[in-house]
């Protein structure tokens, strides 16, 4: 009897490491980086990533040479990405900065994808992950509402959701919405649908309260993508959008000045457009390896720099605005400029291969397609938002995004073993 219990515990150990680490990454990784002593932050994040990956690999990676020839293509691409990441650090203009940045990206992203590639081959594990996303979504939504009321009382307070910045706070809710969205699609129990839909609406409201254009635009695009699948859904989306515009116009004078400044300012748009020109200069100079992950780009924007999009008669010059910045405010430009065409190309091909494989393997069942498209809609929404800032430099977003890629890689998530009308997603294992 004791032997049987021990065996069950050992088989669940990788999943336990993953869930504990996921909770840590969502709620504590960013505060650790900003508030904890550097050594403690580095150790805890390193252990969360490495213990999860090692526990999964020890259980799943074949040891015999004859078995290694049959490794999935996804894992071969992961190995190539890891190798190219090492070259990026070696050829970087700031190896120390690139070692920290690229190391964190690979550990909390690429390695976690390879871990979830194995973990999510179990439908039970997939459902537990969706439940964890839902629980985290609810917890952060309530915490965000608390932060909102704090901002009404104390000036200078904002909705951050433990992300140090309101922009990634919106992305965090978007990624975690995978949980309630897919659970809503999977269940046929009315009370569960009402519960899940209510929290989804509350989370969407919180995204609007954050007051950042990127997350709001992402929600609208996700609604449009899903609305185009069904005529009725498109009509509901259109009416809802018109209602929001009408309400915003009627109460425009009551909108706090903070939100007006965030939603109406055009300077940040021009800055982001100017970064396309800067990135092009970097790519021409360092096409293969880039300047290095997190390496400075100041030399490409000297004081004599003449912007193409940013107004020259502005109060602040473009070079003065980005002083000390090692970013392009755009994840695609960041990859191309700081990791080079080789790394960006292989990483992009991995995502393309996952989507292509997913399209070929999903069942023709309408419910299965619906759940698949919901997952893809979340990933597309996050990708769109990532065009406005460097999303994957945040370890908790990097972790969740690559976990969702691991979910997509296992299309068995959408294989039904029991009739949908008899399923209770809160008790199913």
What gap in Å lies between CA 429 and CA 419, rounded to an integer?
Answer: 14
What gap in Å lies between CA 139 and CA 147, rounded to an integer?
Answer: 12
More confident residue, 219 or 104: 104
Are 293 and 92 a contacting pair, CB within 8 Å?
Answer: yes
Question: Over the stretch 316-353, which tens digit does the pLDDT of each residue have?
Answer: 788 877 766 678 889 999 999 999 999 999 999 999 99
More confident residue, 403 or 229: 403
Indicate the range of 195-209, 245-259, 382-396 predicted with least confidence: 245-259
Of 265, 257, 223, 217, the residue nearest 240 (C-alpha): 223
Are 223 and 208 a contacting pair, CB within 8 Å?
Answer: no
Q: Which residues contact 181 (CB under 8 A, 6 or more apart)?
A: 200, 374, 378
DSSP codes of every residue in 83-123: HHHHHHHHT-SSHHHHHHHHHHHIIIIIHHHHHHHHHTTSH
Helix axes 395-409, 340-361, angle to 10 degrees: 40
Residue 400 — very low, low, confident or very high, per pLDDT cuts 50/70/90? Answer: very high
Are 199 and 137 a contacting pair, CB within 8 Å?
Answer: yes
pLDDT of residue 5: 40
Are 143 and 161 a contacting pair, CB within 8 Å?
Answer: yes
Question: Over the stretch 146-172, which tens digit does the pLDDT of each residue have?
Answer: 998 998 888 778 889 999 899 999 999
Of 390, 368, 386, the residue nearest 378 (C-alpha): 386
Report the pLDDT averaged over residues 295-313: 85
pLDDT of residue 352: 95
What gap in Å lies between CA 101 and CA 86, rounded to an integer?
Answer: 12
Residue 370 — very low, low, confident or very high, per pLDDT cuts 50/70/90? Answer: confident
Of 136, 271, 146, 266, the residue nearest 213 (C-alpha): 266
Q: Is 42 exposed, middle or buried (0-12, 13-18, 19+ CB in 10 A)?
A: middle
Indicate the range of 61-70, 120-129, 136-145, 289-298 predicted with least confidence: 61-70
Question: Over the stretch 40-76, which tens digit does the pLDDT of each residue have?
Answer: 999 999 999 999 999 999 888 765 555 556 788 999 9
pLDDT of residue 3: 42
Please tell me whether residue 285 adopts helix, strand or coil conformation.
helix
What gap in Å lies between CA 361 and CA 186, rounded to an integer?
Answer: 19
Please tell me whether residue 322 adopts helix, strand or coil conformation.
coil
């Amino acid at each position: 009897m004791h032997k049987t219990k021990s065996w069950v515990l050992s088989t669940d150990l990788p999943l336990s490491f993953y869930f504990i680490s996921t909770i840590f990454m969502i709620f504590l990784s960013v505060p650790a980086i900003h508030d904890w002593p550097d050594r403690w932050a580095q150790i805890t994040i390193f252990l969360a990533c490495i213990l999860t990956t090692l526990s999964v690999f020890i259980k799943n990676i074949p040891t015999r040479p004859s078995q290694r020839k049959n490794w999935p293509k996804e894992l071969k691409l992961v190995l190539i990405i890891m190798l190219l990441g090492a070259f990026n650090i070696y050829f970087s203009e700031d190896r120390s900065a690139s070692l920290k940045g690229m190391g964190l990206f690979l550990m909390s992203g690429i390695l976690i994808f390879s871990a979830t590639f194995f973990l999510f081959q179990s439908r039970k594990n997939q459902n537990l992950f969706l439940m964890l996303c839902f629980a985290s979504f609810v917890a952060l939504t309530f915490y965000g509402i608390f932060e909102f009321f704090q901002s009404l009382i104390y000036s200078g307070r904002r909705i951050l959701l433990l992300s140090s910045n309101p922009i990634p706070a919106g992305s965090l809710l978007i990624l975690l919405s995978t949980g309630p969205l897919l659970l809503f699609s999977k269940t046929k129990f009315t009370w569960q649908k009402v519960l899940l839909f209510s929290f989804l609406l509350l989370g969407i409201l919180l995204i609007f309260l954050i007051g950042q254009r990127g997350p709001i635009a992402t929600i609208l695009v996700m609604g449009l993508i899903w609305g185009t699948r069904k005529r009725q859904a498109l009509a509901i989306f259109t009416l809802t959008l018109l209602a929001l515009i009408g309400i915003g116009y009627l109460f425009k004078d009551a909108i706090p000045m903070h939100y007006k400044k965030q939603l109406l300012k055009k300077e940040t748009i021009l800055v982001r457009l100017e970064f396309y020109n800067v990135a092009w200069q970097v790519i021409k100079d360092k096409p293969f390896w880039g300047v290095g992950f997190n390496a400075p780009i100041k030399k490409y924007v000297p004081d004599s720099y003449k912007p193409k999009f940013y107004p020259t008669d502005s109060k602040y010059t473009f070079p003065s605005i980005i002083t000390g910045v090692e970013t392009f405010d755009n994840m695609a430009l960041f990859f191309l400029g700081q990791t080079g065409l080789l790394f960006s190309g292989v990483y992009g091909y991995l995502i393309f291969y996952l989507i292509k494989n997913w399209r070929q393997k999903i069942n023709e069942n309408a419910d299965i397609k619906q759940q698949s498209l919901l997952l893809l809609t979340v990933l597309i929404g996050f990708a769109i938002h990532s065009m406005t800032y460097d999303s994957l430099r945040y370890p908790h977003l990097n972790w969740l995004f690559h976990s969702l890629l691991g979910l997509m890689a296992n299309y068995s998530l959408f294989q039904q073993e029991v009739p949908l009308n008899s399923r209770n997603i809160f008790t199913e294992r």
